[in-house]
Amino acid sequence: MTAQRLAPADAGEAADLVAFLARLIHWDKTAVVRLQGHGSALAVFGQPPFGGGVLAVRTVEIAAPVELDTTVSAGQLLEGIDEQGGLVSVPPAVTGKPWAGVLPPQGGWKRVAELAADDLRGAAAAAVREFRARSEELAPERRTRAGLDALADEIWSRQLGGSGLPLRAVHAAQALGFLRPVRAGVSSAAGGGEGAGAEPLALLAAGPWLRLRTPYGSIAVRRAGLGALSVAPV
């Protein structure tokens, strides 16, 4: 069967998709992504390994209408991107991981706060510094994987101010490059199709979900039932 081929609207869209997939694979070589395409937008969902049910989404503007819903290997999708030719080859579907069946809603989002990218970058950096300092202070018998995971969970489960957004979501946004300075011409679709615009960033809510929307992508997390962090920050 011939692979479905998609054409991003411009070279910047393809480059940002490459960067997003490369960062996911850096953290998890076996990462999968769920692709949902409708009309001129392709939403690419992934789960960075920071625990707590954090999901990341990068929306790519497509030149021609698309109808697509499949889960694929992030690595194979990355290999199928021809930046010079401006085409994306969709690889065969794979068995989806549990998170791929529980995605945030497409609509019904309400803005609950505006956030400054500098503040978010500062919060993520401060948390990483605290983790490193406190982990170095642990006695050797407590500096185990379980001990480090418990420390990481304590730090990254904290809320950003009174927003309800856990710091692990901020860390995911930083690690995936969503908090970098906005370049000219970034499409508003990058943040999930609701007009991300320029900084400051927006915190949105829909049912049990919170969503940090940026010009480069969004981070979504459920406000209830957050689990333990399984990978310590580095």
User: Is 230 inside a domain boundary?
Assistant: no
Domain limits for position 48: 5-97
Domain termination site, one of 32, 66, 97: 97
Assess whether 60 and 119 both reside in one domain.
no
Tokens representing residue 147 in the block: 């001990």
Give the whole-angstrom CA distance, residue 198 versus residue 35: 26
In this predicted model, what pLDDT tens digit does every residue of 25-81 receive, in sequence order?
A: 999 999 999 999 999 999 999 999 887 889 999 999 999 999 999 999 999 999 999
In this predicted model, what pLDDT tens digit does every residue of 135-144 receive, in sequence order?
A: 999 888 888 9
If DSSP states are collapsed to H, E and C, what string results for 121-165?
HHHHHHHHHHHHHHHHHCCHHHCCHHHHHHHHHHHHCCECCCCCC
Q: What DSSP line would sit under 166-183, residue for residue?
A: BHHHHHHHHHTTTTSPPP
Domain termination site, one of 97, 127, 152: 97
User: Is 232 inside a domain boundary?
Assistant: no
Q: Cα–chain-centroid distance for residue 2?
A: 29
Tokens representing residue 98 in the block: 């549990």
In this predicted model, what pLDDT tens digit does every residue of 97-136 receive, in sequence order?
A: 899 999 999 899 999 999 999 999 999 999 999 999 999 9
Which residues are 201's β-sheet partners? 115
Assess whether 50 and 137 both reside in one domain.
no
In this predicted model, what pLDDT tens digit does every residue of 203-220 receive, in sequence order?
A: 999 999 999 999 999 999
Assess whether 79 and 173 both reside in one domain.
no
User: Is 90 inside a domain boundary?
Assistant: yes
pLDDT at position 82, please?
Answer: 92
